[in-house]
Amino acid sequence: MTSNVPAKTRKLPIQAIGAKIFHSVNIISLFLMVTSGLQIYNANPVFGGRAGLHVPAIFTLGGWLAGGRNWHFAAMWLFSLNLLWYGIYILITRRWRHRFVGFKDIKALQKTRNSQRLIYAWHRIVYTSIIPILLLALLTGIGMYKPAQFPWIVDMFGSWQALRIVHFSSVPMVVAFVGVHSLLGQKAGGSQLTESMFW
């Protein structure tokens, strides 16, 4: 006679409320910035001038140039303030020790054969790589938003057009990060880990 022993249930991941708020606000602000940014782009495409490739209106927000700019800058403040408070939050709670790449992660890539350990190492590397990308997006965005107040930002990139190209290029990099970050999260803890980041 066999005994019916209940299978060991997997422990559900629990995320701090600060992480949930940060991820939720990030998704909203990024969606607003990308769609409104595409509306701004349509007014004068980065590549090809006014005759360049236009994005279908269904993927844009704002209805026209001024509307797109208003949405874009409003979302920029939401995104920037969210990023700032989360930076302070991870410093105070010391979450940075578990979220960002360290020497042990680099060492793991060279020596470990543990697939789960490799996933965590790559996840921290990708998580860390978004910092310079976001700083670049914010720097170039500020340069385009207030060129008269910050002409040195325009000068850093050589020209206004070069500044626009770099700022526009940050969009696919952020979108790629979101995709890879989500994929690695799925591999590390499945859909339960991904869902725990929001609710």
pLDDT in tens, 86-130: 888 888 887 767 777 887 888 887 777 777 888 888 878 888 888
**Residue 22 near residue 86, CB atoms below 8 Å:** yes
How many residues are present in the chain? Answer: 199
Task: Output the pLDDT for position 10.
Answer: 52
- Tens-place pLDDT, residues 1-18: 444 544 445 555 567 787
Closest to 73 measured CA to CA, from 47, 49, 40: 40
Integer angstrom CA distances of residue 53 from 40, 50, 99, 117, 166: 13, 8, 39, 43, 17
pTM for the predicted model, two decimal places:
0.78
Summarize the confidence of residues 43-57 as an average pLDDT.
Answer: 82
Task: Output the pLDDT for position 122.
Answer: 85
Residue 77, pLDDT above cutoff 60:
yes
Could you give the CA distance from residue 36 to residue 42 in angstroms, rounded to a whole number? 10
- Tens-place pLDDT, residues 139-180: 999 998 888 999 999 999 999 889 999 999 998 898 898 888
Domain boundaries along the sequence of the chain: 16-96, 100-199
